[in-house]
Structure 1
Amino acid sequence: MTADSAESLLERARGLLAEHPVLDGHNDLPWALRTQVSYDISRRDVSRDQSAHLHTDIPRLRAGGVGGQFWSVYVSCELAGDAAVSACLEQIDVVRQLAAAYPADLRLALTAGDIEAARSEGRIASLMGAEGGHSIANSLATLRALHELGVRYMTLTHNDNTDWADSATDEPSHGGLTRFGEEVVREMNRSGMLVDLSHVAASTMRDALRVSEAPVIFSHSSSRAVCDHPRNIPDDVLEALPRNGGVAMATFVPKFVLPEAVAWTKAADDNMRAHGLDPLDTGEEGMRVLRAFEEEHPRPIADAGTVADHLDHMREVAGIDHLGIGGDFDGTAFLPAQLEDVSGYPNLVAELLRRRWSVEDLAKLTWRNAVRVLGDAQAVSRELRGRRAPSVATIGALDG
């Protein structure tokens, strides 16, 4: 492909995103603001270029054609109980601070209608997703409170099991969902909170699809058939998505999308631990250690084509109506070439245009499917609230 044809594709991609922007499923800017500046957003003015510190700022969101973002209100698995709940509340608070500080660019969104309204106003719809079921401290009342505060999805686990669900990256202890875990899914359906199955074990995915009366999402997961990593989605689960109505949002994290990066990342993580650091540490010391490791052990590089390979396969298995994008910016130390920050989405769209994806298919991928799935979950919630009272179940009563 010539440089001219590449530029033509990129121009077409930018034009497409102007009409059908990205509604991305997962961005960890709130946690980055916690670790870098203790939530003092005046020290990270995201209305200006923050590329020295972050993957995300408003100018680059605009350049990337982003029209909506699920901000992750993530809680580390090191926190539990009341500490986890408090940390989640702090994450919610900083998202609200951002929306209040930049009202010309960001609009809090709670419904599919709000998302479309933000788009019509030329603002970026700002939604929240709680990453890790430990954020509710085994309390369905806390789950409902998070929904009332604006959280519109919850990832059932993060990297460790919860007391009621198995994680993809922990040793199995429940065989999927426990009885209380099933009740969490049912209460999420009743509340109108999307069930997010990124990070969970395949057994948990299958249990949640069996129990859920509303569409589920994978906020940032790719195809296990293309890259055999437990954070990715097996084909049998992708095949089940059309019956559920859910959406799988492909992520950009190299260790989840590039097979050669899996072993490299394990070695890099082991090196971080040897230095007394969490492998997820993206602070100054963590990045220094990672860069030193990379100098001695060159890192396999993914690119937009790597992610497109996943999307091609996921479209073949699940169908175009069940795909989306969840980049995981500011939640990972490394990203693919061409997708180094939130300005990079046009490069992925250009690659898919090169592969002859239609405008209609791309509009579903970037925007329509994600808006639709939230609207469908809201419709299920309205019906369930009409015939089901809030659950008062406790983990002790169901799993004791």
Structure 2
Amino acid sequence: MADLQDELDTITEAVGGLAPALEPPSRSEDTAPDAGTDALERARSFLAGHPVAVGYTGVPWALRHLPRYDVEFGEGNGSADVPRLREGYVGALFWSLHLPGEPTGDRAARATLDQLDLVLTAVRAHHEGLRLADDAAQITDLRNRGRVSVVIGPAGACALGDSLGVLRILRALGLRLLTLSGVSWAGDDGLTRFGEEVVREMDRLGVLPDLSGASAATVHRTIGLSRAPVVFTRSGARALRPHPVNLTDDVLVELGRAQGLCLVPLAPEQTGPSVRDVADHLDHVRELAGPECVGLSGAYDSGAAQTSDPTDASSYPRLIAELLVRGWTEADLSLLTWGNVQRVLRTADFTARAAQQSRGPSMARITDLEG
């Protein structure tokens, strides 16, 4: 997705024309109620070199539904605009294409493409702060050039209908995650034969399975079938808060064995109303799945209620400060904020290249496998 403007930016930065976007902001009035000011300064210093990759945001939903959303200057009702992303040291974030009401058939495909068109239009309109990114290398390159990467996904499985051709089109347009729920082929009974074919085609394309909200049977079968890491884009620990999208301890252990990734959201109904509550979930996921399998999610601007303490995308320094106080090492924090998202993207791309050597595009339809 590089363009002429990218090349001009590279030349400009080479001669010192653009200041790094992730330098610590000069805000003396900030306080951290959950951690001391020393820990907050340490957190900012750490994040300047290890920014946050946010695994789920509802910015496309907000752009369509909020009365004012000023992406560039933050003078609206949004929670993940460019100024807040800078203040929160966010270097990359996923923009969800999820649809309200779970439409079906052709309507779902059209609505998903409308969401995707909105994403492409919004990012291109704010290219000084945001850039589309398709893989780990592009994300790193954009971070080094002071831009925030927007990665497309997840989309809902309902967008596919019964056509894997739609999946290939969405991947060609930049989709990196697909949520396996809300469809007949990935329901309470798990993956059908067509659902298994969808997962194999996702492996071939480099589209990661998102299992947040999927049934237990779908979760277990997908973990066993997918050669790429599975991702839970917005799940906490059910042992701490019994929300249906949160993960049980046995799933967390299974996720650790499979080297997948659980992205813990800042959402009161899932992880509680404070920074400490979110940190408790991160501690729990790290303990059971391992430090290589935990990351951060926002759920910002998705229409869901936000925590009363970390209120928007600028809150990550306070969360990292809390984890520093709890004794998290910088090595584990670097995996949490940036490294683990990079790993799953790289692994998905490696898996796709290997699969394409032995498998062509699948033309299967539901009627072929289940009719």
Residue type of the alignment partner of 2:46:
L
Report the 3-state secondary structure (helix = DSSP H, G, I; strand = E; otherwise coil) of the residue aligned with 1:312.
Answer: helix
**Structure 2 Cα separation of the partners of residues 153 and 45 of structure 1:** 26
1:356 maps to which residue?
Answer: 327
1:44 maps to which residue?
Answer: 69
2:183 maps to which residue?
Answer: 162
Give the drift of 1:107.
1.3
**Structure 1 Cα separation of the partners of residues 259 and 39 of structure 2:** 31
Counterpart contact for 1:338–1:347, Cα < 8 Å: no
- The 5 A counterparts of 1:65-104 are 65-104=89-128
2:22 maps to which residue?
Answer: none
Counterpart contact for 1:88–1:130, Cα < 8 Å: no
2:271 maps to which residue?
Answer: 257
Give the drift of 1:12.
1.1
**Structure 2 Cα separation of the partners of residues 254 and 44 of structure 1:** 23
The alignment status of 1:31 with 2:52, answered yes or no, reads no
Report the 3-state secondary structure (helix = DSSP H, G, I; strand = E; otherwise coil) of the residue aligned with 2:154.
Answer: strand
**Structure 1 Cα separation of the partners of residues 367 and 270 of structure 2:** 36
Task: Give the ranges of 4+ consecutive aligned residues of structure 1 lying more than 6 Å apart after TM superposition.
Answer: 2-5
Report the count of equivalent residues. 341
Distance 1:213 1:143, change over 3 A: same
The alignment status of 1:384 with 2:342, answered yes or no, reads no
Which structure 1 residue ranges, 5 or more long, are not aligned? 38-42, 167-171, 259-301
From 136, 141, 147, the counterpart of 2:165:
141
The alignment status of 1:314 with 2:285, answered yes or no, reads yes
The alignment status of 1:237 with 2:208, answered yes or no, reads no
From 151, 161, 186, the counterpart of 2:200:
186
2:365 maps to which residue?
Answer: 394
Report the 3-state secondary structure (helix = DSSP H, G, I; strand = E; otherwise coil) of the residue aligned with 2:227.
Answer: coil
Give the drift of 1:4.
11
Report the 3-state secondary structure (helix = DSSP H, G, I; strand = E; otherwise coil) of the residue aligned with 2:53.
Answer: strand
Give the drift of 1:330.
0.6
Counterpart contact for 2:97–2:155, Cα < 8 Å: yes
**Structure 2 Cα separation of the partners of residues 7 and 138 of structure 1:** 54
Counterpart contact for 1:222–1:250, Cα < 8 Å: yes
Report the 3-state secondary structure (helix = DSSP H, G, I; strand = E; otherwise coil) of the residue aligned with 1:25.
Answer: strand
From 122, 143, 157, the counterpart of 1:119:
143
TM-score by length of 2: 0.88
1:150 maps to which residue?
Answer: 174
Distance 1:78 1:322, change over 3 A: closer
Give the drift of 1:130.
3.0
From 50, 54, 75, the counterpart of 2:78:
54
Distance 1:309 1:126, change over 3 A: same
From 334, 346, 360, the counterpart of 2:317:
346
**Structure 2 Cα separation of the partners of residues 5 and 387 of structure 1:** 52
- Alignment identity in percent? 44
Aligned-residue Cα RMSD (Å) equals 1.8
Distance 1:385 1:4, change over 3 A: closer
**CA shift digits 1:242-293 (9 cap, x unpaired):** 33221110112211123xxxxxxxxxxxxxxxxxxxxxxxxxxxxxxxxxxx
Which structure 2 residue ranges, 5 or more long, are not aligned? 1-31
2:46 maps to which residue?
Answer: 16
